[in-house]
Structure 1
Amino acid sequence: MQTQRKAPIGRPRGFDAEEALEQAMRVFWSQGYEGASLTDLTNAMGISRTSMYAAFGNKEDLFQKALQRYTDGPAAYAPRALEEPTARQVATAFLAGSVRATTRPDSPAGCLGVQGSLAAGEPGRGARDTLAAWRDNATSLLQERFQRAVDEGDLPAGTDPGLLARYLMTVGNGIAVQAAGGATRDDLQMVADMALRQWPPA
């Protein structure tokens, strides 16, 4: 008796999901959430809307996946900076990473986490809230690291870790906005160096 071969369940995607997500990330990075139309996204990804919805969900779902890819890739300098041995070295690595990530010649200028929420109106509320939480989390991680530095005597006892974290994030976000506006890597590194001159002494 001949055994019947079962047909595979479902159809193969026919596209590289990782590459498609990479291209979506770049579109959101350069155009922001609201500025990125579904046509822009699917054209860059090389897939149909049906394939996009099947593989990634709706536009907001896709944005969240793209943001995670950005966090694990171009923005990975931020968690690495937290591992530096002193608070000043954390700040130096954080700002240097911000300058590099926002001025890479092979990538859109600026930061997806900043550009993504600019001019976001009511239709982009979900993405705006996602990005606000993303930035708040980064600020909290810096605050925790600076609190540890205070506890260890690496920062003066009167230092406000929360204020210091917000200061660093504000400088980093400003670097991203200026990079998107065409500022050069050298110019932005000078801004970072100036910001570090205000760093509290150990």
Structure 2
Amino acid sequence: MARTREFDTEAAVGRAMELFWTRGYEATSVRDLTRHLGVGQGSLYAAFGDKHGLYRAALEHYRSTLAAAALRSLEEGADVRSAVRGLLAERVRIAVEHDGRGCLMVNAACERLPEEPSVRRIVRDVQDASREALAEVLAVAAERGEISARHDPHTLAAFLITFLNGLLVSAKVTPDAGALEPLVEVALASLD
């Protein structure tokens, strides 16, 4: 008779996400995970297969929670400049929390690529979704005359996502929102 799982896997993934985000994949051992999650190694393996399976689940959790919330806030913004400013500033704020832990997706790209195709796919999906959502918002704003139409919305969105990725790496080096937020204003000049 199979034993029933004795822990909430969704809560475990959320807690694992926080640990991976703070410490990174390589620096987080299975022992660290079992202690942090309060589960046995057998239960962890039964639920996720291995450490990498839990890591992928943590990245997916990030995508469906924090990344999805960022896209919703972008789509709900009153004007495009405020929406983009808010998106970028909020990502900086989150990245500098906890002494500059950065962004989980950018951290995953820096730490696990190119060796891990499954991680590449998840990170690329998040980046693609962000770029497409931003391009749609920028296209509408250009049609309304809120921003210059001199740049293709997809190219402008790709630039802003690339800028954000660099900003998030910088947040690990300089975990000071006050030092990084003025750079957001420079990026917003690309909308003129």
Bin for the TM-score computed over the shorter chain: 0.7 to 0.9
Contact kept, 8 Å, 1:74 with 1:101, in 2: the verdict is: no
Structure 1 unmatched runs, 5+: 1-8
Match of 2:150 among 158, 162, 182: 158
Deviation at 1:122, TM superposition (A): 6.0
Which deviates further from its counterpart, 84-93 or 14-23? 14-23
- The count of aligned residue pairs is 191
Deviation at 1:25, TM superposition (A): 0.1
Secondary structure (helix, strand or coil) at the match of 2:109 reads: coil
Which deviates further from its counterpart, 39-48 or 185-194? 39-48
Contact kept, 8 Å, 1:33 with 1:124, in 2: the verdict is: no
Structure 2 unmatched runs, 5+: none
State the TM-score, normalizing by the size of structure 2.
0.83
Q: 1:137 maps to what in 2?
A: 129
Does 2:7 align with 1:15?
yes
Q: 1:92 maps to what in 2?
A: 85
Q: 2:141 maps to what in 1?
A: 149
Contact kept, 8 Å, 1:32 with 1:118, in 2: the verdict is: no
Pick the structure with greater CA Rg: 1
Deviation at 1:129, TM superposition (A): 2.6
Does 2:76 align with 1:80?
no
**Residue deviations 1:12-57 (CA, integer Å, cap 9, x gap):** 5333434422221022213434444333333322222221132234
Match of 1:102 among 88, 95, 99: 95
**Equivalent residue letter for 2:95:** T
- What RMSD, in angstroms, separates the aligned Cα atoms of the two structures? 2.5
Deviation at 1:102, TM superposition (A): 0.8
CA distance in 1, matches of 2:46, 2:66: 26
Matched ranges for 1:53-72 at <5 A:
53-72=45-64
Structure 1 stretches of 4+ with a deviation exceeding 4 A read none
**Residue deviations 1:66-85 (CA, integer Å, cap 9, x gap):** 12332344442333122213
Contact kept, 8 Å, 1:99 with 1:175, in 2: the verdict is: yes
CA distance in 2, matches of 1:21, 1:59: 11
Deviation at 1:118, TM superposition (A): 1.1
Q: 1:4 maps to what in 2?
A: none
Which deviates further from its counterpart, 87-96 or 17-26? 17-26
